[in-house]
Amino acid sequence: MTAVTVIGSVNLDFVATAATLPAPGETVTGATLARHPGGKGANQALAAQRLGADVKLVARVGADSLADEALSLLYAEGVDLSACAVDEAAATGVALIAVAAGGENQIVVAPGANAAFTPRHLPHTTPGALICQLELPLDTVAAAVAQATGFVCLNLAPAAEMPPQTLARADLIVVNETEAAFYGEALHALPGLIAVTWGARGAGLYRAGQQIAAAAPPPVIAIDTTGAGDAFVGALTVALLEGQAPETALKFACAAGALAATRAGAQPSLPTRAEVDARLESV
């Protein structure tokens, strides 16, 4: 089984679903509220676990009533949480998410214990492949990548300036269109694979500025796009670690992301390996 360590954020998501998203200064009423485990680190850990990897999550939560709820699905599905520590001085991270009827969302995050995850909290070793995102302090992410000895996937979300050596160490970098625009052509000067997601239009995979694969997602009815990008990251990492060819791996990741958009919530929506394989076979 493919071993993956995810170093990243854990949040509890409060999701309000309404007919439309509010404009600046506007109040939208009539929404329904749900609570789901989330955070990019936790989401990508669960995504990889459901897709067949053996996953360990390195993270921090607060000493509060939200922590168990935020970790509940990870625990239930066998993700190794032995390196998920409790910060006695911080709250568990929280994300406030507004979702429109068409699936688009707006997100505000109060990071809590995620923001207090410093390089000194990192483990001495990172088993297997490493997946990181940018919802932790950037020096922590840089230190985690620097000490990794295996395959490194770096999801540059949310976009932020990173040390050149951190970007150059990544075997796979994943960005969406907005993040790709933030980093510009500098991404394509890096030695690793670059995956750029285009939402419902699919994704492209690049090496040295040349597109080596492109894929479109299977047609779905989007309910909530929260977590779709995290499903893509987990799926593409697992597929490449399994030795799938770039185009096959990208199709697999696009299918996983599309399926995640058909259900509400970040973690509850993440598909299993059987679901992704069945969806690909039906196309």
Name the residues annotated as catalytic. Answer: 230
**Helix, strand or coil for residue 84?**
strand
Q: 32-38 and 129-132: which strand pairing?
A: unpaired
SS (HEC) of 13-71: EEEEECCCCCCCCCCCCCCEEEEEEECHHHHHHHHHHHCCCEEEEEEEEECCCHHHHHH
DSSP 137-188: -HHHHHHHHHH--S-EEEE--S-----HHHHHH-SEEEEEHHHHHHHGGGGG
DSSP tally for the chain: helices H, then strands E:
8, 13
For residue 83, list its beta bridge partners. 58
Closest to 103 measured CA to CA, from 194, 224, 191, 21: 224
Q: For residues 252 and 235, what is the distance between their CA atoms, to the nearest angstrom?
A: 7
